[in-house]
Amino acid sequence: MLRTAILGLGHYLPERVVTNDDLAKMFTTSDEWIQQRTGIVTRRYVDGDVGVSDLAVPAAQRAVEAAGLKMSDIEFIIFATLSPDYQFPGSACLLQDKLGLPGIGALDVRNQCTGFLYGLSIADAFVKTGMYKRILLVGAEVHSSALEFSDRGRDVTVLFGDGAAATVFGPTDEDRGILSTHLHADGRYAKDLWIEIPASCYQPRMTKEHMDEGRHYPRMNGRKVFKMAVETMPQVVHEALAANGLTINDVDLLVPHQANLRINEFVGRELGLPPEKVYHNIQRYGNTTAASIPLALNEAIQEGRAKKGDIIVLAAFGSGFTWASSVLKL
């Protein structure tokens, strides 16, 4: 049976390391508060005018190299991000140009923390139908240019970091690859985690008053996000396991979206997974949203925590609200 396999992974993080103490110099917070509530110790920020498509270039190059391919082998690009370089055109088009691939299709996915899993499901469908054989999927975010470094935005600002990660997908007839994807959304919660402005439903889309009110920064109902994440992530993992006739004992590693260490520890316990079967790197990078799952998966492989033949479960929850899972055999 033809399946879609991960042929290569790569990631790129900007060099500037920002500690909790660095943030505490800008607004009222503390290393203790941030670590206790979120597990985050450091995050990375870009320096200067760097967009997501810039961060994506080295991540894509590393993924293509890891796949043993040339950049010219890539037939289609999917770019998952909530922080596109510009309002339009999409960052996939900008990345396509920067990678020197004029003419190939380029698609942006705007599904926030589940963007990588939504993109993976599209790549899987394109590969399985024979439409493309070499698909580059990138998840990348530059959050730092849209965070509010003051007490008003501190609940959100401490959580997020910049970064990029990429995956090359292609067909395989070996016993490995993507076994399933499950995608969900509930738009009733759209305003519980969002950036409102600029908004095409307002005339004009953005005013000085909007900016004075901070409506161009991310806003979040943290408690509701936390509660829904710990409910839906175990559900969507069970859904994935049932669809594949697997049990929790078959899982070698859960690689969850890295939004909050406490959420992921709770999800692991709820599923009955021992701590060593749940991967975390949020301590180092914060929440890198669309980049977080491929970044975590790549580091898990590099550290020997995920190996060829392992059953890996990916799961995410975030803005939309959206939630999703995928089961892979590496």
Where does this chain touch ligand UT7 (CB under 6 A) — which range of 66-74, 136-144, 164-172, 222-230? Answer: 222-230
The token duo for 88 is: 């339009």
201 is catalytic: no
The yes or no reply on residue 139 touching ligand UT7 (CB under 6 A) is no
The yes or no reply on residue 260 touching ligand UT7 (CB under 6 A) is yes
CB of 151 vs ligand UT7, minimal distance in Å: 8
Taking phi over 0 as left and psi of -120 to 50 as alpha, with beta for the rest, 222 belongs to alpha
113 is catalytic: yes
For ligand UT7, the binding residue among 43, 62, 154, 284 (CB under 6 A) is: 154
Please state, in angstroms and rounded to a whole number, the distance separating the CA atoms of residues 188 and 64. Answer: 39
Residue closer to ligand UT7, measured from CB, 63 or 140: 140
Where does this chain touch ligand UT7 (CB under 6 A) — which range of 92-100, 122-130, 199-207, 255-263? Answer: 255-263
The yes or no reply on residue 198 touching ligand UT7 (CB under 6 A) is no
Please state, in angstroms and rounded to a whole number, the distance separating the CA atoms of residues 84 and 327. Answer: 28
245-284: buried (b, 16+ CB within 10 Å) or exposed (e) per residue? ebeeeebebbbbbbbbbbbbbbbbeebebeeebbbbbbeb
The token duo for 176 is: 């490995």
Where does this chain touch ligand UT7 (CB under 6 A) — which range of 3-11, 133-141, 183-191, 224-232? Answer: 224-232
Instruction: Determine the size of the site formed for ligand UT7 (CB under 6 A).
Output: 20
Please state, in angstroms and rounded to a whole number, the distance separating the CA atoms of residues 236 and 184. Answer: 9
Catalytic residue among 11, 143, 182, 257: 257
Please state, in angstroms and rounded to a whole number, the distance separating the CA atoms of residues 60 and 169. Answer: 12
CB 163 within 8 A of CB 220: no
CB of 155 vs ligand UT7, minimal distance in Å: 4
User: Among residue numbers 34 through 93, which ones bind ligand UT7 (CB under 6 A)?
Assistant: 37-38
249 is catalytic: no
Return the active site residues: 113, 257, 287
